[in-house]
Homo-oligomer: A and B are copies of this chain.
Amino acid sequence: MGTEIVKVSARSMPKLVAGAIAAIIRGGGQAEIQAVGAGATNQAVKAIAIARVYMEAENIDLICRPAFTEITIDGAEKTAIQLMVSRLYDSR
């Protein structure tokens, strides 16, 4: 399994996003979280913090790598925050 994109908005529920992240990691993939705006980025970070608690119980250390990326929404280019979430020692 490779990289799965998870789009997060300011209205996303962190616990639900955390469950999606955990499922991707358990499946051997990595999650590429995309967030546009402060509210969305905040929900994304909360989701990763919650997913880290889930994965710690399975002895998995989840890390994230933030970066800027350009994405197209309704034909308009926007700068998004990309948070690559993977398990430690699973470098891709």
* A interface residues, Cβ below 8 angstroms from B: 37-39, 41-42, 45-46, 48-49, 52, 61-68, 81, 83, 88, 91
Contacts and interface: CB of A to CB of B under 8 A. Distances in A.
Instruction: Specify how many copies of this chain sit in the oligomer.
Output: 2
A78 to B, nearest CB: 14
Given A39-B38, A42-B41, A66 B52 contact: yes
Determine chain A's interface SS by DSSP, over half rule. mixed
Most buried by B among A63, A65, A66: A66
B48 A38 contact: no
A58 B67 CA distance: 17
Contact of A66 (B48, B67, B88): B48
